[in-house]
Amino acid sequence: MPPPKKILVAPLNWGLGHAARCIPLIGELHRQGASVVIASDGRALHLLRKEFPQTPFFYLPSYRITYRFKNMAANIAIKMPRLLLAIAQENRCIRQIIQTHGIGGIISDNRLGCFSKKIPSVYLTHQINLLAANPLFQWAARHIHLFFIKKYSECWVPDMEAPPNLSGVLSHNHKAGPVQYIGALSRMEKMQVEKKYDVIAVLSGPEPQRSHFEEAVIKQLRTLPYRCLIVQGKTEMEKRHPVGNNIEVVSNLTGRALNEAILAARLFIGRAGYSSMMDLAKLEQPALLVPTPGQTEQEYLGRLLMQNGHFYIQPQNQLDLKNGIPAAIEKGGMDGFCFDRKKMERAVAGFLARCEK
């Protein structure tokens, strides 16, 4: 019997959402007999190493996008030469890993340089259509993104193709080449858990905005009569400490521990990232979501799901937990969203079959 195909899974290190939604994909690859290798950098790689401690891993160059301006498109534009250099370095790393470790296929979650002409490669994204406040930035960003998407054999979208879906206009563009909608991806499971907290705040995203958000949340929660758990999203640390009389802070939780902690709270507070929304839909959990400043995609997703009556949204510069928490609890969250696991199973099976050719 031939050895199992080695599949390289490479999520972007931009918050923890890209790595988190790769967890069910990695699990399905294992279930279908593949051997998985992980490649990333920073906290995303830390997370996956904790979830899959026996899995080989490689470091990839960091994109190092920082917040100089409030608008994320402007931050990316000014860093474009450095970003393109990182993508080129990333592709050189990928070619070397393929050659020296016998990789048979690649699944890249929003890493633009993890493609190969020699083996099947998948680009995983919910955001084929990039959004920007400036029309010129938006036009340029979409064309650059489509240029890289077409370097891959196919594109997978973690959503349903037709409404009611989660990603709205973000996930549809006929110029993207072969696109397969594989259904929403979440590592979470709905279960019965005793309520221990009024609020859980799960913090993620690139610095320094993650830290700014943490400071604002703690400052307001300390004055409110709620039992609170704050998960900092610092995957490189393992610390737990109290803040005041009503807040417990933990550096990071993974796997089942995070799943149970979210369900043990009456309300979730976090970013309006797409992976968080998939998890909240799976858990049917009420949420107060705060888009990362300057991330037009999160602002769009927040407006979309608030208009549909699912979650309560507040801008970070207007954060008001005293009024926002009861309003978010009243909305009740998203229930009844269709998670069709068979779509993901069929996508993985077809991909592995193509890797055998």
Question: In sequence order, what DSSP letters do the residues of 265-324 get, joined into one string?
Answer: EEEEEE---HHHHHHHHHHT--EEE-PPTT-HHHHHHHHHHHHTTS-EE--GGG--HHHH
Percent of the chain residues past pLDDT 70, beyond the cut: 95
pLDDT band at 250 (very low <50, low <70, confident <90, very high): very high
Is domain 197-331 annotated with CATH 1.20.1250.20?
Answer: no
Split at pLDDT 50, 70, 90, the class of 201 is very high
- In a 10 Å sphere around its CB, with 0-12 CB exposed, 13-18 middle and 19+ buried, how is residue 331 labelled? middle
Between 173 and 93, residue with greater pLDDT? 93
pLDDT tens by residue, 286-338:
999 999 988 889 999 999 988 888 899 999 999 999 999 999 999 988 887 87
Q: Do domains 6-185+339-356 and 197-331 have the same CATH topology?
A: yes
Which residue ranges make up each domain of the chain? 6-185+339-356, 197-331
Q: Specify the pTM.
A: 0.93
User: Of the candidates 350, 269, 355, which has an alpha carbon nearest to the alpha carbon of residue 316?
Assistant: 269
pLDDT at residue number 336: 75
The larger pLDDT score, comparing residue 2 to residue 92, is at: 92
pLDDT on residue 71: 56
Label residue 42 left, alpha or beta by phi (over 0 means left) and psi (-120 to 50 means alpha): left
Amino acid residing at 118: K
Task: Identify the pLDDT of residue 5.
Answer: 87
- The total of other beta-carbon atoms located within 10 Å of residue 251's CB is 16
What average pLDDT is seen over the chain?
91
Average the pLDDT over each of 72-86, 215-229, 328-342 and give the range with the smallest value.
72-86
Average pLDDT over residues 236-249: 90
Looking at residue 160, its pLDDT comes to 92
Q: What is the pLDDT of residue 294?
A: 83
Structure tokens at 151: 């370097």
The answer to whether residue 175 scores a pLDDT higher than 90 is no
Structure confidence at residue 72 (pLDDT): 56
The residue whose two tokens read 């259509």 is 129
Residue located via tokens 């979409």: 142
Query: Residue 346: which H helix or E strand, with range?
Result: helix 341-356
pLDDT of 206 > 60? The answer is: yes
**Right CATH for 6-185+339-356 from 3.40.50.2000, 3.30.70.20, 3.50.50.60, 3.40.640.10:** 3.40.50.2000
